[in-house]
Structure 1
């Protein structure tokens, strides 16, 4: 008997088509209140204070956080880093990656909904839109109305707020790379340098376009996180979901009517959950990659449930297992693995920063002359010493050279004083009797040691060159 694979015809049903070149419908969100909105507003306030306030903090007479690219020094409060310390950036990026993976596995895209800069600045721009053009219905009517003096005035006010927020954002960002106090004065007195002006203009335009015009399109088409989130999710991930078991069938009814008595579920089909969504999706259609887990629909639906005298939670933070009546597993292998990796990387980063040397030494040979004969017949090599004091206090160091017992330093004063977070560069001459040389070059090691604390030291290796002996 021949076995056949069962085949089901799926072509006879309704086929939905989409116009790939359709104009993007503009999203007009409506106002609402609720717990998660208050949490987000508190978070936005904290992030704004952190972003705009940190740039103005002072630390020992300088800007507390300053990435001084021309000087190749990066000051973060009491610590100063050099380009060779950039390996620490790898630690930070890995920590951020595992932190994002951990949060996503546990609670979905809460990063997107509450702390992502694109979301935060979009909410601020939406607020500017609301205070100048009115609530949702008023904005829709304004869009459809022909240009008038009132419409022009409202649009001008809106774009003025957008532009002001964008300029302040851009100046603050550039202020982390050039002293912000001087930058602000130079900007408004038109004394700003060309490169600073370019970057202020660039980030002003980027903020204005991304938060004002693109908005959810950045999340849909430009942010890769929206695409790979499905790989991170499982049925125990906490997500914003609509409960169809409780909500269906949908339909309007009067306040206080028992849903079962009219053959309906708790959802009154008011579409307010769609109207408050910053990405314009209908959460009742199930989990979608456009959802940023901002919980705006949760707050809005809870408001409606309160008015209808129904229990809250028709739309809520929950899991697929919970919706299916199964138990949610919080501790699971994937979450545990990301958590352990995150803790390990944080521990390594803290240990590395805590054990960082407070002084660094760089030695380069004079490349113009390999060696030369000094007075008395000794062979002389010249080196360029770069001594960087990473501490926040003035330090005095002694310099020594090792590698051969006959090596001598030709240094007028073997006391090198370096200011806090500063570098001292000077030429140093090293001499050796040619009769004691073995070969044409020998390895040498330069060492600096702090006078006040012998534990503060640094070494650098080089070569001592000499003539060929016959």
Structure 2
């Protein structure tokens, strides 16, 4: 009889352990060109963004570049409006609105941002289009890469990379053109008279575009972009995702078009792997939801084209939700989405109100702290102030300075100022009052500055007037 205090140990042979190379060489993905509804839809989302990006710096509004972030002058000109560092709260609001919009779209429609409007996707698609035009179809590109070097191969490769570099250069120059007048930049680059910083940043963004869109491509989406990593936190059972209907497609297998595949025990999937060949990240959507999927729907267009040829119903691969795949109905209005919509509406309302009520004028007043007051021979008291006036409007204005709340006080100095557009000026002046007119040693009053040609353009700030005890 065995001892109850002993534990029987069974020796188990170690299982085979597969080696995992953490520094595997990237396998080049050869994507296949496909036409379809979602591919046409991507044209309507990608091209407007490209045209806006490349054209906005060349458009002038009020004699100034439509979008120009003038960092040396700390002025940010956007579609006729001029913003200053004092307006950074508006930028914070705008970033919060963009973040909540992205979250709301992700919860409801998955990664449509990645698939349709992400700059990495748009520029990569443009580079892939150039590649297809100069090197041919998917099979032709595979064959070309396997061929030994020849004049034909060298000319095709050289032409492709030259086109890539040209697009990358235009992208880099345009980006720098948002921070430096693009007409001057283009002339200086053409005549090789540009400054070092402009040249360095243009070269940097040219190289970044060339590498990211031409060479790294899906590596940026898979390993560098954080969005793919935290998207699972925002997904739920009702989120729209690109999915393969395994109940309908399995078991998969090739067959003739005339075969009654249902009677033969086959599903609708003919295992053509066309969905894999068109995928820009190289995944097989039939393996289920994967973080590499950017929701571009190219696999949907590919599968639907095959379904039409076979005479089957489209939608074997489609936009759907986990709940719908399980036989339920997608719930569109759910608490999380309603919460996002409410928060977005509030923030857009506050942002719009701040933009509409924004006064493009600022007045800052600092008392001279070296001398609290100066006594004059006639029994008066003077205080010295330094005023900082900023005309944040795009037009010049004439302003008049006034005092409010300090009885009998006068301003010793100029009270009228003509400021050009986007001009800031510092003014030192004295305010004089009789000590007998002041009831307390410290009296609160207000400086107010008003535009003579636009009374609604005014700003005020509070200060204090000091007298002897």
Same fold (TM over 0.5): yes
Per the alignment, residue 357 of structure 1 pairs with 359
Is the 2:402–2:449 Cα contact (8 Å) retained in structure 1? yes
CA distance in 1, matches of 2:255, 2:162: 44
CA distance in 2, matches of 1:245, 1:456: 67
Per the alignment, residue 202 of structure 2 pairs with 200
Per the alignment, residue 458 of structure 2 pairs with 457
CA distance in 1, matches of 2:225, 2:214: 17
Q: Aligned pair 1:164/2:166, yes or no?
A: yes
Q: Aligned pair 1:117/2:119, yes or no?
A: yes
CA distance in 1, matches of 2:442, 2:165: 64
Tell me whether 16-25 or 195-204 shows the greater mean CA deviation.
Answer: 16-25
User: In 2 relative to 1, CA 442–322 (structure 1 residues): closer, same or farther, beyond 3 Å?
Assistant: same
Among residues 82, 85, 89, which one is paired with 1:83 in the alignment? 85
Offset from partner CA, 1:4-57 (integer Å, 9 cap, x none)? xxxxxxx99998764322212111101111010011012111111111111111
Per the alignment, residue 209 of structure 1 pairs with 211
Task: Name the Cα RMSD after superposition.
Answer: 2.5
Tell me whether 429-438 or 15-24 shows the greater mean CA deviation.
Answer: 429-438
Offset from partner CA, 1:285-342 (integer Å, 9 cap, x none)? 0001100000000001111111112111110111111111111111111111111111
Per the alignment, residue 242 of structure 1 pairs with 244
Per the alignment, residue 3 of structure 1 pairs with none
SS at match of 2:129: helix
Q: Count how many residue pairs are aligned between Structure 1 and Structure 2.
A: 457
Tell me whether 368-377 or 54-63 shows the greater mean CA deviation.
Answer: 368-377
Among residues 49, 59, 64, which one is paired with 1:57 in the alignment? 59
CA distance in 2, matches of 1:187, 1:442: 59
SS at match of 1:55: helix
> How do 1:104-143 residues align onto structure 2 when only pairs under 5 Å count?
104-143=106-145
Q: Aligned pair 1:33/2:35, yes or no?
A: yes
CA distance in 1, matches of 2:411, 2:453: 22
Q: Aligned pair 1:429/2:430, yes or no?
A: yes
Is the 2:407–2:437 Cα contact (8 Å) retained in structure 1? no
SS at match of 1:159: helix
Per the alignment, residue 303 of structure 2 pairs with 301
SS at match of 2:461: strand
Is the 1:256–1:309 Cα contact (8 Å) retained in structure 2? no
Is the 1:74–1:82 Cα contact (8 Å) retained in structure 2? yes
Instruction: Name stretches of at least 5 consecutive residues in structure 1 with no aligned partner.
Output: 1-10
**TM-fit CA distance, 1:254:** 1.4
CA distance in 1, matches of 2:178, 2:146: 42
> How do 1:312-327 residues align onto structure 2 when only pairs under 5 Å count?
312-327=314-329
Offset from partner CA, 1:233-283 (integer Å, 9 cap, x none)? 111111111011111111111123221133211111111100100000000
SS at match of 2:299: helix
Per the alignment, residue 447 of structure 1 pairs with 448
**TM-fit CA distance, 1:404:** 3.3
Instruction: Name stretches of at least 5 consecutive residues in structure 2 with no aligned partner.
Output: 1-12
Is the 2:69–2:77 Cα contact (8 Å) retained in structure 1? yes
Give TM-score, length-normalised by structure 2: 0.90
Offset from partner CA, 1:187-224 (integer Å, 9 cap, x none)? 21122122222221221121111111111111111111
Per the alignment, residue 227 of structure 2 pairs with 225
Give TM-score, length-normalised by structure 1: 0.90
Tell me whether 293-302 or 397-406 shows the greater mean CA deviation.
Answer: 397-406
Is the 2:31–2:278 Cα contact (8 Å) retained in structure 1? yes
Is the 1:79–1:390 Cα contact (8 Å) retained in structure 2? no
CA distance in 1, matches of 2:133, 2:29: 16
